[in-house]
């Protein structure tokens, strides 16, 4: 039996140091980042070590942003473990400091991203596309919890909410101030946006209460705004035909064509990755509303455009921006072959709205284009489903295409077969 090669003294010391480093990392010791040398750790621990070192050195003002970026890493288990270790600090240092707000936001985000057992809830963790919604909503409420109006429009970009101690949330005067601020915001924003922000804020506040950080809910007394009826109108066949005659980039043509042919939600299409496409079957796998895995099916128009858009890429986001991804962009949203970032919903919506202003206002002068409103991406999905219903598509097929759970939801497109109004024949 051959003997295993023996290590020299230097190799033994190196091996022992490596084992100690790995044990310190796995144990989650607070000073582990001072011992770790990521380049010498096993591959499955290197990302963990690098993130811990970065979090240890980050400035307090940038901590929330870095933690959010870590939580969006493709390796969800590693990201949760890293943030969990980072947030394991004495509560006394947090609850009285001015940085509590930012820390509470990222702690709640970590819990939402982590296992359901940590929350004691049956809800599944939110999909990555929800993380941005949570962050925006809680940032908005960060302003109002400090007794200030949240910025809107262009002023919102880059604005950081004020920081305050946790005791301010339990101020008995805050509920009245919040009610006035929330009412003023509701007058300027859509009811769906206001209700979504209120719901997310209440979930976070409830979680903070369960941690014992605050004693009361300052949003008590703030009522949800009634949602207006869906007045979205389907685009006529002629208007859709005019859309395909626009001189736009291949990315936009492919995205719009896929939305029309698949009747999928825009965020589902924008979340597609190249490796999730089955080109021969004309379908792609994506995360649908609620976090379930769904399939998007398209037709020949999209099938003809996709190979040109992919251009030989084998992985990464399907729809990309035209420039390199900025530092801190989540790995999942960066193409590993080109270095470009995933196209965001906001940018895709802006491009579509700008290019359809004259189509939406055919009597307007091109000189007035800056003052006009174009179409929304949602109208492509709404139009596809409406035309399907008007063309006699069965209710089961409409439910499958729309991925709605209730037949009642189809009434916005057309009256489903077999459904009659009261008193009708």
Q: Half-sphere exposure of residue 27, counting CA atoms within 13 Å on the CB side?
A: 13
Looking at the structure, do residues 56 and 133 belong to the same domain, yes or no?
A: no
Reading the chain (425 residues) residue by residue, the pLDDT tens digits are: 444 344 343 444 444 444 454 445 444 444 444 444 555 555 656 666 777 777 777 776 566 667 767 766 767 677 767 776 766 554 445 555 544 555 555 555 555 544 322 222 333 344 444 556 676 777 788 888 888 888 877 777 667 777 777 667 888 999 999 999 999 988 888 887 888 888 888 888 887 788 777 888 999 889 888 866 666 788 889 999 999 999 999 999 999 999 999 999 898 899 999 999 999 999 999 876 656 678 899 999 999 999 999 999 999 999 999 989 888 788 888 999 999 999 998 899 999 999 999 998 988 888 888 888 899 999 999 899 888 888 888 878 877 787 777 776 676 676 433 333 333 33
CATH number reported for the structural domain that contains residue 283 in this entry: 1.10.443.10
Q: Report pLDDT for 403.
A: 75
Looking at the structure, do residues 175 and 221 belong to the same domain, yes or no?
A: yes
Q: Report the C-alpha gap between 318 and 332 in whole angstroms.
A: 12
In a domain, 425, yes or no: no
Give me the domain span that covers residue 138: 94-117+124-228
Contact of 389 with 414, CB cutoff 8 Å: yes
In a domain, 420, yes or no: no
Looking at the structure, do residues 60 and 167 belong to the same domain, yes or no?
A: no
Q: Give just the sign of the alpha carbon dihedral 207, 141, 349, 385.
A: positive
Cα angle 200-201-202, degrees, rounded to a multiple of 5:
90
Looking at the structure, do residues 98 and 77 belong to the same domain, yes or no?
A: no
Which of 195, 210, 228 terminates a domain? The answer is: 228
Longest Cα–Cα distance of the chain, Å, equals 93
Instruction: Encode pLDDT of 244-302 as tens digits.
Output: 999 999 999 999 999 999 999 898 899 999 999 999 999 999 876 656 678 899 999 99
Q: Report pLDDT for 16.
A: 45
The tokens 């591959």 sit on which residue? 43
Q: Report pLDDT for 147.
A: 85
In 190-267 the beta strands, taken as DSSP E runs, fall at: none
Cα angle 122-83-340, degrees, rounded to a multiple of 5:
100
Looking at the structure, do residues 216 and 143 belong to the same domain, yes or no?
A: yes
In a domain, 417, yes or no: no
Q: Report pLDDT for 82.
A: 76
Q: Give just the sign of the alpha carbon dihedral 397, 401, 405, 408.
A: negative
Q: Report pLDDT for 138.
A: 77
Looking at the structure, do residues 222 and 305 belong to the same domain, yes or no?
A: no
Question: pTM for the whole thing?
Answer: 0.54
In a domain, 424, yes or no: no
Looking at the structure, do residues 107 and 84 belong to the same domain, yes or no?
A: no
What does the block give as tokens for 237? 């066949």
Task: Name residues whose C-beta falls within 8 Å of residue 46's C-beta, 6 or more positions apart in sequence.
Answer: 38, 39
β pairing state of 293-297 and 283-287: antiparallel
Looking at the structure, do residues 205 and 291 belong to the same domain, yes or no?
A: no
Q: Is 353 exposed, middle or buried (0-12, 13-18, 19+ CB in 10 A)?
A: middle
Number of domains in the chain: 3
Looking at the structure, do residues 42 and 99 belong to the same domain, yes or no?
A: no
Q: Report the C-alpha gap between 251 and 343 in whole angstroms.
A: 10
In a domain, 133, yes or no: yes
Looking at the structure, do residues 22 and 43 belong to the same domain, yes or no?
A: yes
In a domain, 21, yes or no: yes
In a domain, 210, yes or no: yes
Q: How far is CA 377 from CA 152, 194, 265, in A?
A: 22, 21, 9
Which of 177, 206, 228 terminates a domain? The answer is: 228
Q: Report pLDDT for 255.
A: 97
In a domain, 422, yes or no: no
Looking at the structure, do residues 183 and 265 belong to the same domain, yes or no?
A: no
Contact of 367 with 354, CB cutoff 8 Å: no
Looking at the structure, do residues 333 and 369 belong to the same domain, yes or no?
A: yes
């Amino acid at each position: 039996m051959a003997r295993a090669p023996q290590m020299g003294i230097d190799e033994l010391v190196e091996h022992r140091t490596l084992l100690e480093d790995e044990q310190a990392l796995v144990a989650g010791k607070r000073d582990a980042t001072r011992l770790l040398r990521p380049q010498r750790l096993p591959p499955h621990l290197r990302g963990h070590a690098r993130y811990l070192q970065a979090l240890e050195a980050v400035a307090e003002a940038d901590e929330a942003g870095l933690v959010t970026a870590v939580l969006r890493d493709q390796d969800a288990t590693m990201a949760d473990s890293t943030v969990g270790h980072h947030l394991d600090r004495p509560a006394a240092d947090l609850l009285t400091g001015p940085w509590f707000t930012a820390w509470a936001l990222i702690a709640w985000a970590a819990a939402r991203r982590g296992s359901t057992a940590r929350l004691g809830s049956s809800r599944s963790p939110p999909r990555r596309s929800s993380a941005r919604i949570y962050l925006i909503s809680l940032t908005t409420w960060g302003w109002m919890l400090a007794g200030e109006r949240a910025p809107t429009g262009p002023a919102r970009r880059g604005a950081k909410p004020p920081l305050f101690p946790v005791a301010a949330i339990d101020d008995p005067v805050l509920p009245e101030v919040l009610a006035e601020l929330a009412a003023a915001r509701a007058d300027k924003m859509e009811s769906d946006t206001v209700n979504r922000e209120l719901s997310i804020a209440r979930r976070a506040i409830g979680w903070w209460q369960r941690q014992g950080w605050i004693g009361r809910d300052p949003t008590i007394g703030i009522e949800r705004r009634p949602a207006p009826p869906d007045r979205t109108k389907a685009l006529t066949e002629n208007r859709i035909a005019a859309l395909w005659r626009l001189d736009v980039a291949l990315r936009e043509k492919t995205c719009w064509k896929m939305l029309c042919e698949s009747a999928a939600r825009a965020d589902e299409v924008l979340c597609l990755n190249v490796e999730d496409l089955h080109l021969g079957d004309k379908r792609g796998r994506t995360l649908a509303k609620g976090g379930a895995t769904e399939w998007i099916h398209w037709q020949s128009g999209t099938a003809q455009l996709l190979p040109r858009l992919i251009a030989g890429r084998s992985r990464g986001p399907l729809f990309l921006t035209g420039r390199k991804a900025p530092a801190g962009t989540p790995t999942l949203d960066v193409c590993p072959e080109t270095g470009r970032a995933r196209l965001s919903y906001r940018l895709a919506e802006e491009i579509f709205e700008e290019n359809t202003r004259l189509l939406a206002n055919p009597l307007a002068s091109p000189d007035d284009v800056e003052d006009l409103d174009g179409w929304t991406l949602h109208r492509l999905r709404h139009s596809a489903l409406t035309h399907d219903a008007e063309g006699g598509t069965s209710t089961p097929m409409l439910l499958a295409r729309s991925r709605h759970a209730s037949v009642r939801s189809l009434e916005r497109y057309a009256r489903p077969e077999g459904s009659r109004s009261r008193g009708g024949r």
